[in-house]
Amino acid sequence: MPDMDSGRIEYGEKRGPDLPLETNLDRIRRRAFEIWEAEGRPEGRHREHWLQAEREILGDSAGP
């Protein structure tokens, strides 16, 4: 059960009637997968796709 007084919601908890709380991690994971698929599902480029997704989701401050 979430601690409603603190305003914190733990990862994986649901908010409202059956609505999952999507985190930045979820959005990055989904975007990295989309990039991977769009590029023809190449092997060995998961880190590149993840970093690109991070930059897109979090902004330029996430990159090197």
DSSP single-letter state for residue 15: E
Q: Which pTM value belongs to this model?
A: 0.61
- CA atoms within a 13 Å half-sphere pointing along the CA-CB vector of 62: 14
In 1-64, at which residue ranges do the beta strands (DSSP E only) sit?
Answer: 14-15, 19-20
Residue 16 has pLDDT above 80, yes or no: no
In a domain, 10, yes or no: no
- Tokens of residue 51, six digits: 């970093």
- Look at residue 39 in the predicted model and tell me its pLDDT: 97
Does residue 32 form part of some domain?
Answer: yes
What does the mean pLDDT of the chain come to?
Answer: 78
Identify whether 36 is part of a domain: yes
In a domain, 3, yes or no: no
Task: Supply the pLDDT for residue 63.
Answer: 52
- Residue 7 lies inside a defined structural domain of this protein: no
With respect to residue 44, please indicate whether it lies within any of the assigned structural domains: yes
Q: Is 47 among the domain residues?
A: yes
Q: Give me the domain span that covers residue 58.
A: 20-62
The answer to whether the beta carbons of residues 52 and 27 sit under 8 Å apart is: no
Q: Please report the sign of the dihedral spanned by the C-alpha atoms of residue 62, residue 45, residue 49, residue 33.
A: negative
Domain tally, the chain? 1
